[in-house]
A and B are shown apart, each in its own frame.
Chain A
């Protein structure tokens, strides 16, 4: 099916590592992008083309890809990283794009 699947929530203690997965059948063929959305704010791009980090995004944010699953990793999580994280990718043929359901990251 043409869907992106994310876990609804991830909890992590400050200073630890958070890993957020996104699964989809087309991911081996299409790039994935990640957005951070804090409460009441617009989304912000944190990873593009699976692993690239835009300027201004802290180095603790990284992306990786393996088969039909891509992962956003946040190392040394800080309280300010508490937010919803959304993955985005296209279908096999590149005729439309879509988002995963989003993952709420809670910093304990």
Chain B
């Protein structure tokens, strides 16, 4: 069974940093692109970032480019999202998901249960 388990969320002040992790199991992690998607309270889904299976190529939404960094460690079957210079607008539940298809921007299945990030002073 494919499982994705996010961790690392919590409360941060504006300008601070957090690192999210997503532990993957049940599939060949090193062969699979991965992604992060967030959802602000009461709002829709917002794609944040994706990374190819090799980790060589990354993609970012304009809203996080230059502040967030996606990475992966295939030896640990873990996906990361380093979030720097956090803003109140980054407050959201952050989901990791496996990417299926031929591109790191194709469809996402399945999704983890999410981890809540709250940015507030």
Contacts and interface: CB of A to CB of B under 8 A. Distances in A.
Interface of A: 31, 33, 35, 37, 42-45, 48-49, 54, 84, 86, 88, 90, 94-102
A-B interface, 6 closest residue pairs, ranked by CB to CB distance from nearest: A102-B44, A45-B109, A33-B107, A97-B105, A42-B111, A99-B45
Nearest to A4: B44
A90 B44 CA distance: 17
A31 B102 CA distance: 12
Contacts of A100: 44
Given A42-B95, A43-B95, A48-B100, A96 B59 contact: yes
B interface bracket (residues with beta carbon within 8 Å of A): 20 to 34
Contact of B114 (A42, A48, A90, A95): A42
Q: Is the interface of A mostly helix, strand, loop or mixed?
A: strand
A68 to B, nearest CB: 19
A101 B40 CA distance: 12
B47 A96 contact: yes
11 contacts: A33-B106, A37-B45, A42-B95, A42-B110, A42-B111, A48-B100, A48-B101, A48-B106, A48-B109, A88-B47, A96-B59
